[in-house]
Amino acid sequence: MEILTNPVFALFLIICIGFLLGRIKFLGISFDVSAVIFVALVFGHYGTEMPPIIEKIGMVLFIFTVGIQAGPGFFDSFRKNGRELAVVASVIIIAGSLSTLAFMYFLNIDSAIAVGILCGALTSTPGLTVAIETTASPLASIGYGIAYPFGVVGVILFVKILPKLLRADIKKETESIESELLKSYPVMVHKHFRVDNHTVFGRTLRDLRVRTMTGATISRVKHVEDAFTPSPETILHQGDILRAVGTEDSLKRFALLIGPVVDEDITLGKEYEVQSVLVTNTEVVNRTLDELNLHQSYNAVITRIRRSGIDIAPSPNLQVKFGDKLLVACRKEDMKQIVALLGNNDQGLSDTDFFPIAAGIVLGILAGQLQLSFPGNFTFSLGLSGGILLVAILLSSIGRTGPVVWTMTGSANQLLRQMGLLLFLTGVGTSAGAHLVETVQTAGLQLLFIGAAITLIPMIVAAVIGRYVYKLNILHLLGTITGGMTSTPGLAACDSMTNSNVPSTSYAAVYPIAMVVLIILVQILSLIQF
């Protein structure tokens, strides 16, 4: 059909068909958006072509948004047990790369198709972009297309049977790790206390250093019949009622300092109000609560901060982030000034500023062109995708530079990421489709077995090391394996096994590490010829 030669029509037709096929489940498994590449391979085989710029734009958008999303988690992964998780994820990539190298040597497989198989076996689209760029060969995407189906299915099957193989009780291990998490992210509550300790009578809150001593925050004070938000100069009197916010432990310490818990509520006067204020003013992003000085300037009390669905206890050194919700109590006339300072603009939160995106991509392209020279005439550069990924990770970790906010909302990131992925998969698939049949006919069955081996071997090695060397909880282990394999369908399979979000947090922690290590090793493997 002549209309199929129209690249715009063909582009969106491939995407439509890919989405329809991706939603079909077989044995509970679906390919989702990744089905687009298989449709594109078929169209490419029958002569459909895409302008090369489609693939490039798609790759750039996809890689940049992945880096922006993964940036904070990249550095957070090194905290707590992040080191162990990072090692296990790195083991997955290294084991997969060594397996690939062995197959290249013993079976005399071309490096271009070998690195494509590696990326497909590990279900890494960012890795594929690097493989295509470094090899400049369509064989990389063909290898990816051959290995990818089992890469998806194999990870899902592996995480489903792994708990049984390890004789791990998911329910018990979920209860165990959730109790540990509560210690790290304790629930914020409020209680009322009567001032009954004679040592605090007549003393100001500044003198008592309540926040430092107990970890709790006083949000309201009732003296006789007068209810108000406190200031550092507020004097405590016998019989005053205080409303304090904090963890259960901090409120126990507060009771020891102030007095007993009472069953009484404090209703602020008409001149006071409590409001959740959204941080959308870029000028205050990354400033600490101490720097904002809301308490001194407006006699305002911040009782809690909600960030990414988690309530965070306020502290002087805590930096506010774009999209934070601050629960503020103060006088009505002061609230207007606080709202103006913080922004509280829902539209501002939903709007996407394209300047940081364009500037970040420009910086990433420049970083990718830098070359490092090593002995033996070996040069290394991050390349287009690696440079953009690294810069995006760094920028999202910084958060803000002057008036420029590098982060973006989850919805904006997801939209750009999926659009980039669709453009990239369509461009890659159609360009590779012309060589697909020829390659499969010559070495298809062999390549399928190689891809399956490269999928399974790293997971087996990681499971043994993670469980028996580092003694990881099964939930951490499942999330780390799926993150190391960069397998979103695998993560979905984990989520269906437990109500805990631990697999997701482990996945997010190691995913960027796995991508960076894979990008480096793919570039090295692409240079090797036997």
In SS3 terms, 151-215 reads as HHHHHHHHHHHHHHHCCCCHHHHHHHHHHHHHHHCCCCEEEEEECCCHHHCCCEHHHHCHHHHHC
Do residue 123 and residue 198 come from a single domain?
Answer: no
Is 141 found in the same domain as 217? no
Look up residue 145 and give its amino acid: G
Please list the ranges in the chain whose pLDDT falls under 50.
none
Q: Are residues 229 and 368 in the same domain?
A: no
* CATH number, domain containing residue 342: 3.30.70.1450
3-state secondary structure 316-333: CCCECCCCCEEEEEEEHH
One domain for residues 159 and 46:
yes
Among 308, 323, 348, where does a domain finish?
A: 348
Task: Return the closest-CA partner of residue 142 out of 32, 44, 46.
Answer: 44
Do 450 and 512 reside in the same domain of the chain? Answer: yes
Instruction: Look up tokens 């992945």; give the residue.
Output: 66
Rg (CA), the chain: 28
Question: pTM score, two decimals?
Answer: 0.62
d(CA 363, CA 468): 43
Do 135 and 273 lie in one domain? The reply is no
- Give the per-residue pLDDT at 500: 75
Residues 320 and 368 in one domain: no
Please indicate, yes or no, whether residues 173 and 258 belong to a single structural domain of this protein.
no
- Look up residue 155 and give its two tokens: 């990870």
The DSSP element (H or E) to which 260 belongs, if any, is none
Q: What does the alpha-carbon distance between residue 495 and residue 281 come to, in Å, rounded to a whole number?
A: 35
State the DSSP code for 79: S
Which structural domain, as residue segments, surrounds residue 277? 186-348
Instruction: Of 122, 125, 129, 72, give the one whose Cα is nearest residue 98.
Output: 122
Cα separation, 306 vs 312, whole angstroms: 6
Beta pairing class for 226-228 and 241-246: unpaired
Q: Is residue 387 domain-shared with residue 482, that is, in the same domain?
A: yes
In the chain, how many domains are there? 2
- H or E element: which one contains 302? strand 301-307
List Cα–Cα distances, 91 to 24, 134, 485, in angstroms.
Answer: 33, 23, 11
- φ/ψ of 434, rounded to 5, equals -65, -25
Strand, helix or coil at 235? strand
| 404 and 506 together in one domain | yes
Q: Provide long-range contacts, Cβ within 8 A and 24+ apart, for 266-269.
A: 266/192, 266/220, 266/221, 266/222, 266/227, 266/241, 267/227, 268/220, 268/227, 268/228, 268/229, 268/329, 269/226, 269/227, 269/228
Domain limit, last residue, from 348, 367, 398 = 348
Could you tell me if 428 and 436 are in contact, meaning their C-beta atoms sit under 8 angstroms apart? no
DSSP-derived secondary structure letter, 25: -
Give yes or no: residues 159 and 268 share one domain: no
Task: Tokens for 193, please give them.
Answer: 């206390």
> Could you identify the residue written with the tokens 């049977």?
161
Could you tell me how far CA 195 lies from the centroid of its own chain? 45
Sign of CA dihedral 232, 234, 239, 240: negative
The answer to whether residues 14 and 155 belong to one domain is yes
Sheet containing strand 325-331, strands side by side: 272-278, 325-331, 301-307, 310-312
**Dist CA 230 CA 235 (whole Å):** 9
Q: Which of 291, 313, 348 is the last residue of a domain?
A: 348
CA distance 65 to 63: 6
